[in-house]
Amino acid sequence: MINLFFIFVFIFIIVPLSSSVEHDSHLLRRGLVQQKYLEITRPLPFANLTPSCTLPILTHDFGNTMGLPPISVDYTPPEKCSWNHVALQFNASCKGVQYDRIAAVWLDGADLLRTSTAEPTVDGVFWTVTKDVTRYTSLLVKENISLSVMLENLVDDVYTGVYRVNVTFLYYDVDDTGVPLKLRLVDDVFVDSPIRGGGSLSLNDKPADLIMPISGYGGEGFWFRIQSDSELHGKSVAIPKNTYKAVMEICVSFHGDDEFWYSNPPDSYVRANNLTSQRGHGAYREVLLNIDENLVGSVVPFPVIYPGGINPLYWDPVVSIGAFDHPSYDIDLTPFLGILLDGKSHFLWFKVVDSLPFWLVDANLHLWLDKQCTGDCAVQAAIIDSGTPDFEIEMERSSDFQGLDGSYEVEMKRKSEYRGWVKSSAGNLTTTVSRELKFKNKIKFHEKGNEKKVKQKVKEEIEISVVESETGIKISHTSLKRKYPLTITTKTSKPSKEDNGTKLMLSELENEWSEKKKWGEGYSSSSSSSSSSLKNGQKCKGWMNVQDNVVVQGEATTEQRYSYNGEASSYSREITAANGRLINDTANYFKFASFTTM
Ligand SMILES: *[C@@H]1O[C@H](CO)[C@@H](O)[C@H](O)[C@H]1NC(C)=O
Ligand SMILES: *[C@@H]1O[C@H](CO)[C@@H](O)[C@H](O)[C@H]1NC(C)=O
Ligand SMILES: *[C@@H]1O[C@H](CO)[C@@H](O)[C@H](O)[C@H]1NC(C)=O
Ligand SMILES: *[C@@H]1O[C@H](CO)[C@@H](O)[C@H](O)[C@H]1NC(C)=O
Ligand SMILES: *[C@@H]1O[C@H](CO)[C@@H](O)[C@H](O)[C@H]1NC(C)=O
Ligand SMILES: *[C@@H]1O[C@H](CO)[C@@H](O)[C@H](O)[C@H]1NC(C)=O
Ligand SMILES: *[C@@H]1O[C@H](CO)[C@@H](O)[C@H](O)[C@H]1NC(C)=O
């Protein structure tokens, strides 16, 4: 008999709220079945090839590591190995009772992977994260640098789970396996990358020549631990004078009172109802990136839900979008090279608007260097003042509460445009970066705060164009549109004497990441343009019966649809998981021949 409905025994601990129930809880569970966990994503384009070399770099058991520095080992790339693509493989297993934890892998201080851990069962869980790290090639070729992993865990009589981790680098020589040299890998997609007329530099299609980590000193991990809105963290850097392109990659994760920042009520609600919860400051957060005193970019992060979040039964065995491989966010700083190339150091720093303890933020500054400009040569650059406001922000907040019921809404819009010219051996090129960000969040409480509904929409459009400064001839154009809608509904019944103090918690969740990307090079008749799209959505529904902080019963379903269409391949996958099992899993993968025979 196939037993789809088996009873779990879960315990969980919630931060007690005086009169209301914490809806979006960080729960602990005790499952029974051995299980392989997974995050649904598409395979790496070179995943089916045999790596030319494999480097097992770190094996460590993360037991009671709270407050300890990260584990570091020496890294040197394998000798006599021909490679041009690299994957990082992070394998983990755990047995017992344990919370989900946050972890990161750094190479020479640069953040390569931000990941959260699955919550274990008594019989153990295990999983593998494989990430394309080719964009960090300039670090991966270095000798005698350190690779560090931090995974803050707490082990005692109650929390018994030790996370056993293996980190491996897999090196691939993609050209040797039939893919011609001129096909380069851009965002997992093979695209033709013609050498542009006259210039010898390619602007979009190759890994940076230098990566400068904008990160901490490693004692407590290389991330900056941001505890409040008033804290700012960063690093002073002086970039090489032959830099012609710069991109900041920002890595973030949110924890503690801000783990569910998108569902935090305003402080007035917390105060008026005498709640002991520290989760407040409303439901808008934005990570701001600054160069000295100038705001140059911002990120509203995708709401990654950790494997203990909302209802842990949702994330068994399929974890939430981004849980095992957090998205990072790129901000093109090329228009600001006019500031950065003055030969001086500049303070690059972050803050998180309205943040509560705590956020973990760091960044990798990717720099491309003009190899034909050495010695006394310097790339010249300046910001072009477009005369329009640089960083417009409109913000509206409203709240309407009576006791524990009511609603709260916050809306934010940001528009920015930056332009700058850079004169390198590729010519005098003007880069324009425009961005529009729209954020909307509404929280409603009913039934004396026992029912809560969160609806959030984030929409972002980024356009980057590069033109030849004197002639106005377009060199390249990229547009990226991203959306991440989220809805969460939670209902909690008050414990009553008749049902023996059992609380029933019902919830529904919809979370989605979708993006469309278009890019083209040249605007003549021989111009090429490419596009890709991704839609990745999850729908979850479930209930839990909770008695004395123990979930005695529960059922949950998670449906996920993943659909990617790129130039070189398309991939789709639909899964349904119910009560800890995959009950449906269909995948389609096409590789388009034309892109491997060009
Ligand atoms: C990691 O997991 C993958 C996939 O299960 C497996 O192929 C690989 O051998 C594992 N690596 C290590 C070092 O355990
Ligand atoms: C890690 O590697 C060791 C040695 O190869 C292996 O015994 C163990 O099962 C691996 N663990 C994981 C989680 O992959
Ligand atoms: C790395 O360390 C090894 C062993 O100490 C040494 O032989 C080698 O020269 C070092 N490489 C660099 C680039 O410093
Ligand atoms: C909150 O506490 C104050 C002072 O103890 C009290 O006057 C007020 O009635 C309380 N409000 C609620 C909603 O319990
Ligand atoms: C590059 O082009 C811009 C815009 O046309 C111009 O203002 C600037 O002087 C040029 N720079 C150089 C070094 O020629
Ligand atoms: C009520 O809960 C207690 C403690 O878990 C248990 O011992 C008892 O049997 C329960 N009673 C009923 C009627 O379910
Ligand atoms: C599984 O997926 C297939 C194809 O999408 C569908 O026809 C079938 O009804 C699904 N089965 C379940 C149990 O959801």
Q: Could you write out the DSSP letters of every residue in 12-62?
A: ------SSS--SS-B----B-S-EE-B---PPPTTTTSPPSEEEEEEEEEE
Which comes out higher in pLDDT, residue 34 or 293?
Answer: 293
Instruction: Decide: helix, strand or coil at residue 315.
Output: helix
Token reading at 51? 């790596």
What contacts 258, CB < 8 A, 6 or more positions away? 264, 279, 285, 355, 356, 357, 358, 359
User: Cα 62 to the chain's mean position, in Å?
Assistant: 23
Query: Is 588 close to ligand 7, i.e. is its CB under 6 Å away?
Result: no
Q: Which has more pLDDT, 97 or 409?
A: 409
The residues pairing with 268 across neighbouring beta strands, listed in sequence order, are none
CA distance 515 to 324: 19
The structure tokens listed for 110 are 């640069």
Predicted confidence band at 25 (pLDDT cuts at 50, 70, 90)? low
Angle 392-515-254 from CA coordinates, rounded to 5° = 70
pLDDT at 241 over 90: yes
| Distance, CA of 15 to CA of 357 (rounded, Å) | 15
Least confident of 87-96, 362-371, 515-524: 515-524
User: Worst-scoring range by mean pLDDT, 191-205, 297-311, 503-517?
Assistant: 191-205
Q: Which residues line ligand 3 (CB under 6 A)?
A: 143-144
Task: Tell me what pLDDT residue 381 has.
Answer: 97
Would you say residue 337 has pLDDT above 60? yes
Average pLDDT for 467-496: 92
- E strand spans, 84-239: 85-94, 102-107, 110-116, 125-132, 145-151, 163-172, 183-186, 189-192, 210-214, 224-226, 233-237
Query: Residue 509's pLDDT is what?
Result: 98
Q: What confidence score (pLDDT) does residue 592 get?
A: 74
Q: Are 64 and 41 in contact (CB under 8 A)?
A: no
What is the 3-state composition of the chain as percent helix, strand, coil, each rounded to the nearest 5? Answer: 5, 50, 40
Average pLDDT, the chain: 87
Question: CA 214, CA 498: separation in Å to the nearest integer?
Answer: 57
- pLDDT surpasses 80 at 123: yes
Spatial contact of 84 and 136, defined as CB atoms under 8 Å apart: no
Task: Give the residue, by CA position, lying nearest to ligand 5 atom 3.
Answer: 469
**pLDDT at res. 19:** 29
Confidence (pLDDT) at 389: 56
Provide CB contacts within 8 A for 304, sequence distance 6+: 116, 253, 320, 321, 322, 323, 326, 327
Distance 152 CA to ligand 1 centre (A): 23
Which pLDDT belongs to residue 502? Answer: 83
**How many A from CA of 517 to the centre of ligand 1?**
32
pLDDT at position 8 is 34
| Best CA proximity match to 30, nearest among 95, 123, 122, 125 | 122
Instruction: Enumerate residues lining ligand 5, CB below 6 A.
Output: 380, 421, 423, 428, 469-470
Higher pLDDT, 594 or 507: 507
6 vs 31 pLDDT, higher one: 31
> Could you read off the pLDDT of 263-298 as tens digits, one per residue?
999 999 999 999 999 999 999 999 999 999 999 999
**Ligand 4 in contact with 274 (CB < 6 A)?**
yes
The arithmetic mean of pLDDT across residues 167-188, rounded, is 60
Confidence of residue 520 (pLDDT cuts 50, 70, 90): confident
Instruction: Give which of 49, 272, 188, 175 is closest to 564, Cα–Cα.
Output: 188
Rounded to 5 degrees, φ, ψ at 389 are -55, 140
At 177, is the secondary structure helix, strand, or coil? helix
Percent of the chain predicted with pLDDT > 90:
74
What confidence score (pLDDT) does residue 281 get? Answer: 96
Ligand 2 lining (C-beta closer than 6 Å): 59, 91-93, 126, 164, 166
Ligand 3, atom 3, residue with closest C-alpha:
144
Task: Note the pLDDT of residue 186.
Answer: 39
Q: How confident is the model over 297-324, as pLDDT tens digits?
A: 999 999 999 998 888 899 999 999 999 9
Q: Quick check: 598 pLDDT over 60?
A: no
Which DSSP category does 9 fall into? -
> Quick one: pLDDT at residue 169?
98
Residue 11's pLDDT is what? 34
Q: What is the mean pLDDT of residues 249-260?
A: 97
% of the chain beyond a pLDDT of 70:
85
Q: Evaluate whether 88 touches 133 at the Cβ level (below 8 Å).
A: yes
The response to whether residue 471 sits with its C-beta less than 6 Å from ligand 4 reads: no
- The predicted structure's pLDDT at residue 388: 56
Where is average pLDDT lowest: 5-19, 242-256, 417-431, 517-531?
5-19
> Which among 190, 247, 252 has a CA at the least distance from the CA of 225?
252
Phi, psi (deg, nearest 5) at residue 498: -60, -45
Report how far ligand 2's centroid is from the alpha carbon of 11 (Å): 29
Q: Determine the residue type at 225.
A: R
Kindly give, in sequence order, each residue whose CB lies less than 8 Å from that of residue 351, ignoring residues fewer than 6 positions away. Answer: 226, 229, 231, 232, 233, 287, 288, 290
pLDDT at 527: 66
Give the least confident one: 32-46, 381-395, 408-422, 533-547.
381-395
The pLDDT value recorded for residue 32 is: 65
**pLDDT at residue 432 is higher than 90:** yes
State the DSSP code for 221: B
Query: What local confidence, expressed as pLDDT, does residue 595 receive?
Result: 37
The Cβ-side half-sphere exposure at 81, using a 13 Å CA radius, reads: 21
Q: What is the spatial distance between Cα 565 and Cα 78, in angstroms, rounded to a whole number? A: 34
Mean pLDDT throughout 455-461?
A: 98
Mutational pocket test of ligand 3: of 139, 144, 145, the residue with most ligand atoms within 8 Å of the beta carbon? 144
**pLDDT at position 524 over 70:** no
The pLDDT value given to residue 574: 98
Distance from C-alpha of 384 to C-alpha of 419, rounded to nearest angstrom: 5
